[in-house]
Amino acid sequence: METMQVFLSGGTGYVGRALVAKLIERGHRARVLARPGSEHKVPAGAEAVPGNPLDPATFSAAVSAGDTFVQLTGVAHPAGLVTLDQMATALLWAVENPPESRILDVPAIRAISGY
């Protein structure tokens, strides 16, 4: 399997931490956007990128053209429909089989699908 470089917004949250752990476990490189002062919340094995998820100017230079960008900011805890592990596993599959844009906006996907 190809090693992927993944940039995550929301990677220090409930779902994000689970996905980052799976990415690292599979040998992928995870770069996690963290608000200044929250870098300690970045899971072990991932690279912390200080910035503000609401201000792309604070992190856009850290996103490479070949990165898969996973936008998890604002994703709530799974509401009993799926377990955290099921959600993280589904997201891992999506990262490893990305759409052409290589951008996964999870809050938008959930809003459209009702997931």
Q: How far is CA 26 from CA 20, 37, 43, 75, in A?
A: 10, 28, 15, 23
Query: Cα separation of 113 and 80, whole Å?
Result: 16
What pLDDT, in 10s, does the model give residues 63-103? 888 888 888 887 666 556 567 777 777 777 777 776 565 66
Mean pLDDT over the full length of the chain: 80
3-state helix, strand, coil in the chain (%, to 5): 35, 20, 45
Q: By residue range, what is the domain housing residue 53?
A: 5-113
| Pairing mode, strands 47-50 and 5-9 | unpaired
Instruction: Name which of 12-21, 36-45, 58-67, 90-99 the model is least confident about.
Output: 90-99
pLDDT at 50 over 60: yes
Question: In this predicted model, which residue has the larger pLDDT, 2 or 107?
Answer: 2
Which CATH number do you get for residue 92? 3.40.50
Provide the whole-model pTM. 0.76
Q: Residue 115: pLDDT above 60? A: no
How many structural domains is the chain composed of? 1
